[in-house]
Structure 1
Amino acid sequence: MNIKIPINVTILSVLSEFESASAEDKSKLRIDLLSQLVNLAKNLPHPASGQTYQRWQLFAQIAGVDLSLAKLFESHCDALSILSELGYHPEIDDQLWAVWAADGGPAPLQVKDNLCNGIKPWCSGAEFIQKVLMSYKNQQGQAQLCIVDLSHSSISTDSSHWHAVGMNATKTARVSFENTPVKLIGHPNSYLKRPGFWHGAAGVAACWYGAAVGLAGFLQESCQVSPNPFKKLYLGEVAHQLEITKQYFQYVAELIDSKPMLNHEREIRILRAQTEQCCLSVVERVGKALGARPFCEDATFAQLMADLPVFIRQSHAAFDYQQITELCLSDQSLWEL
């Protein structure tokens, strides 16, 4: 079973060194590695550029090594793609970027006269990201984007509200703004209406998939070292799920590249649902097949197992999955062969 995704050899080498490091060393190296990856992937194709699948392959490969690293990298790349798609390419620089789009919190953001006040929840990388594309609701309730330079003295972070063991390495926090200067990006709702909103949502699912591939790799290796019929049975089931999901990624990537001005929302919602189901199936089957030992003694395996369910749930914060039910009820073609 070929579950490796070919990518740039230099990036693969960097990831391999990181993967072999101790858990303590990884916490020190992660931000440096993120900067290296950002530098190595400066020419990463944007979604709908004709190389969408190659972009997702890179996200998946990183996620198979460290899901927190993949989340931070994907968020940086998404920010640059958003700026490019909305016509703000001159704003792109060599800083570490992120997209902070979670809503809610105790004091939703208010922006007036290009000054921001309030609290933004679930801000990944809050301690080390340098610039951010941040969403908020304007006075008419429309989604608006702004750029924030996080070096400004009016900004403070509070990490005391993040209690999950999974994805802890993203250093997710609440961020408070007090008369913080911001630059508005795009027209109201242009962030949500652009085709790339859904193209980017598929990129997040590629991270989920990559983590599942990484977990499957542990089972594959175990079957080679100490094979038994039960592990082989689970490996076959896992390989089947991953292959089906990979083929749908390929199909959706080709669809996006062939019709780049369409958002392909329906197909991408289906892709995310399929990928989530696949990932949770992999978590269950790999866990059963390998037993307690890797949970307790293999740092990379244990971290992926803790990270993946949290990242999936966290990723849904920006998407209302009630809509997929409404879509299925309203679109009869989904039930036709």
Structure 2
Amino acid sequence: MSGLDTKSALLKNIQTAIENLIIADQQSTNAFVITDKLRHDILNLLVTYSEQIPHPASGTGNSDDGHEKEDKKNANTLIRWQVLAYVSSIDLTIAKWFESHLDALSILHEVGYDKSTQGLWAVWAAEGHPQPIQYQQGKISGTKAWCSGAHIVDHALMTYRDGSGQSQLVVVDMAQDGIEIDNSEWQAVGMQGTDTATVEFDEVIACNVGAANVYLDRVGFWHGAAGVAACWYGATASLATYLIKGYQQKPNDYKAMYLGQISTALSVTQQYFYHVSDLIDTQANSSHELIIRQLRANVEQLAREVLETVGQALGAAPFCRNAHFAKLSADLPVFIRQSHGAFDLQKIGELSSILANESITLQENIWQL
């Protein structure tokens, strides 16, 4: 990996700061309960690091003195994913909010938004509500569903369809009159704390940003989608560490076998994250849609495998007696449903067929070493 397997200085600083918050909450970093206060304290701390966290595809990492470090060359996307994975290992609600915040800042960066980006942001891009967002003369009306962090975000970056059916982006200051937030439909057990709501807007001031269809058409859409997979992976890897601890405390052959199974799967996926992050940083003008779809599908499968295997190896105890394990194991199956299952596999098949057609000869095998 030529140094890429070494954690970045930024990640180490964030880890230390969060561990200090946990200790200040009079809890042990080895076994802690995420209270609402601690969750929001961690989120607020993370937001202060926003400008230091690299955008995807932003190229070469630099040292604090501005000089390039050889072992961090072209590692910026990986650094971003390391931060997201670490946050996810603590709490997926925080990760959901912070990933959306960072994604919003990266989108605004890509479209050339030159106004202040202070505060907490979110991307709300779900469509299909019967009363969709309408934009007229600098104001929006209508309803947006699946809005996570609805009560806590300062600004929302939202999609809507214009009169021609084209997708547009607007920035909305959430500290306005004319905004109604309804959490009543959110009955989730996993990801319960994400404050996901249906939000109704009535003549609310909004600002159009970017060109038509830029949200989906930009290459950064897929770079951001891989960041979500980094969140899934971080929580999955955190759950897997409980099997290491369980084996070390009370070793037996069955635990060793299960540990070997998931260690192999995790290590392969870890290496694929390194590979994909390098491609994004060194070939920044490509979306890498196929390999990112494959990465997401692989992480989803890995998450389900680890949840099942760790449960088989350790039994009910961690689900019932360990708050951190229980919360992650409840949240992760909900979070990975941001994947689209069979539809994603269908698209991977179609894109693989296109890639094969682009091969130099009909005999070329796209999967051959």
Instruction: Identify the TM-score tier after normalising by the shorter chain.
Output: over 0.9
- Cα 1:92/1:249, change in 2 over 3 Å: farther
- 1:68-107 to structure 2, matched below 5 A, reads 68-88=93-113, 90-107=114-131
Counterpart CA distance in 1 for 2:95 and 2:85 is: 8
**TM-score normalized by the length of structure 1:** 0.93
User: Aligned-residue CA RMSD in angstroms?
Assistant: 2.1
Q: CA deviation at 1:93?
A: 2.5
Match of 1:27 in 2: 36
Partner Cα distance (2:7, 2:86) in 1: 6
CA distance in 2, matches of 1:119, 1:214: 37
Deviation by residue 1:218-249 (Cα, 9 ceiling, x = unmatched) = 11111111111111111111111111111111
The Cα shift of 1:137 comes to 1.4
Name 2:211's counterpart in structure 1: 187
Instruction: Give the aligned partner of residue 13 of structure 1.
Output: 16
Distance 1:316 1:44 in 2: 28
Determine the C-alpha separation between the residues in 1 that align with 2:353 and 2:12: 46
Question: CA–CA distance in 2 between the matches of 1:92 and 1:290?
Answer: 49
* CA spacing shift, 1:92–1:277, aligned 2, 3 Å: farther
Cα distance in 1 for partners of 2:205, 2:347 equals 35
Is 2:46 aligned against 1:37?
A: yes
Asked if 1 retains the 8 angstrom alpha-carbon contact of 2:120 and 2:154, the reply is: yes
Structure 1 residues 189 and 95: alpha-carbon distance in aligned structure 2, compared to 1, 3 A threshold = same
Would the aligned equivalents of 1:156 and 1:175 in 2 still touch at CA under 8 Å?
A: yes
Structure-2 separation of matches of 1:316 and 1:182: 30
Q: Which has the larger radius of gyration?
A: 2
Name the TM-score, length of structure 2 as normaliser. Answer: 0.85
Whole-Å separation in 2 of the counterparts to 1:30 and 1:100: 21
Unpaired runs of 5+ residues, structure 2, are 60-75, 360-364
1:336 CA displacement: 3.7
Task: Report how far residue 152 of structure 1 moved.
Answer: 0.7
One-letter code aligned to 1:29: L
Counterpart for residue 62 of structure 1: 87
Letter in 1 for 2:272: Y
Q: CA deviation at 1:4?
A: 10
Counterpart position of 2:140 = 116
Q: Matches of 1:148 and 1:130 in 2, distance apart?
A: 9
Q: What is the CA distance between 1:315 and its match in structure 2? A: 5.1
Separation in structure 2 between the aligned mates of residue 4 and residue 287 of structure 1, nearest angstrom: 30
- Quote the offset at 1:329 in angstroms: 4.0
The answer to whether residue 62 in structure 2 is matched with residue 53 in structure 1 is: no
- Judged with a 3 Å threshold, the aligned counterparts in structure 2 of structure 1 residues 299 and 170 are, in CA distance, closer, same or farther, namely same
Q: Please report how far the alpha carbon of residue 320 of structure 1 lies from its aligned counterpart in structure 2 after TM superposition.
A: 5.8
Within 2, Cα distance between the matches of 1:263 and 1:195?
Answer: 4
Question: What is the alpha-carbon distance in structure 1 between the residues aligned to residue 12 and residue 294 of structure 2?
Answer: 32
Instruction: Say which SS state the counterpart of residue 42 (structure 1) adopts.
Output: helix
Q: Structure 1 residue 335: deviation in Å?
A: 5.0
1:324 aligns with 2:327: no
Displacement of 1:327 after TM fit? 2.2
Q: How does 1:253-272 map to 2 (within 5 A)?
A: 253-272=277-296
Distance 2:115 2:313 in 1: 49
Offset, 1:14: 3.5
Which AA in structure 2 matches 1:279?
A: A
Q: 1:257 to 1:244 in 2, by over 3 A?
A: same
Higher relative contact order (CA 8 A, sep 6+): 1
What runs of 5+ residues in structure 1 fail to find an aligned partner?
none
- Measured in 1, the distance between the counterparts of 2:334 and 2:58 equals 30
Separation in 2 of the partners of 1:254 and 1:91? 30
Partner letter of residue 63 of structure 1? S
Contact 1:83 1:92 in 2 (8 A): no
SS in 1 for 2:143: strand
User: Bigger shift: 200-209 or 281-290?
Assistant: 281-290
Moved more, 308-317 or 264-273: 308-317
Give the corresponding residue for 1:306: 330
Structure 2 CA distance for aligned equivalents of residues 52 and 175 of structure 1: 32
What is the distance in 1 between the residues matched to 2:18 and 2:340? Answer: 27
The structural deviation recorded for 1:9 is: 2.9
Amino acid in the other structure paired with 1:66: D
Identity of aligned residues (%): 48
Equivalent AA in structure 1 for residue 18 of structure 2:
L
For residues 294 and 141 of structure 1, the distance between their equivalents in structure 2, rounded to whole angstroms, comes to: 49
